[in-house]
């Protein structure tokens, strides 16, 4: 074999390996955020409460693929909370919670390539959290 052929084969194999590895890494959070929402809805619940409930439930629910890592961030520039799930180094989905009024929240669901099958379960969690009414807190000096 000539030097050129050896060099070409090594370069081609390195490029192929890099291409395969990048495909195995799945969607990044930025890629998921750049997509249009697959589902949106408005719920009668303050956005911070709804986001906290959804994050907790997403963390504790059983998922068909395994247990994802669930994280949340609050946008510094506007009132917006992002809850996202990662499994095997791939962002499965992101749900954003943004106030419409003090008691109404706009929710948007975006899914990554590897997040198939998570939309219905995630949306059911959000709907359950929106319906959940916390127990009344007893007033000071009164017995329950």
- Which position has the higher pLDDT, 32 or 6? 32
Average confidence (pLDDT) over 66-86:
93
Domains of the chain and CATH, by start? 26-131 (3.30.310)
- Which position has the higher pLDDT, 38 or 134? 38
Handedness of CA 64, 27, 42, 44 (dihedral sign): positive
Average confidence (pLDDT) over 33-53:
96
DSSP state of 65: T
Share of the chain above pLDDT 70, in %: 75
- Which position has the higher pLDDT, 49 or 22? 49
Return the pLDDT at 25: 42
Return the pLDDT at 114: 81
Given a cut of 80, whether residue 18 has pLDDT beyond it is no
Average confidence (pLDDT) over 34-60:
96
Return the pLDDT at 13: 54
Task: Tell me which residue has tokens 């994802």.
Answer: 68
Distance linking the first and last C-alpha atoms of the chain:
88
Given a cut of 50, whether residue 44 has pLDDT beyond it is yes
Whole-angstrom distance, CA of residue 13 vs CA of residue 135: 62
Return the pLDDT at 138: 58
Whole-angstrom distance, CA of residue 119 vs CA of residue 93: 8
Whole-angstrom distance, CA of residue 128 vs CA of residue 115: 21
């Amino acid at each position: 074999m000539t030097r050129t052929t050896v060099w070409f084969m090594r370069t081609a194999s390195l490029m192929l390996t890099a291409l395969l590895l990048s495909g195995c890494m799945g969607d990044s959070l930025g890629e998921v955020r750049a997509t249009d929402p697959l589902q949106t809805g408005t719920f009668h619940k303050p956005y911070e409460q709804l986001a906290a409930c959804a994050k907790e439930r997403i963390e504790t629910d059983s998922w068909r693929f395994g247990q994802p890592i669930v994280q949340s961030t609050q946008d510094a520039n506007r009132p917006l909370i992002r809850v996202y799930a990662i499994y095997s180094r791939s962002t499965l989905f992101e749900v954003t919670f943004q106030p419409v009024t003090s008691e109404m929240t706009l929710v948007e669901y975006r899914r990554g390539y590897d997040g198939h099958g998570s939309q219905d379960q995630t949306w059911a969690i959000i709907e359950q959290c929106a319906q959940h009414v916390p127990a009344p807190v007893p007033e000071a000096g009164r017995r329950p």
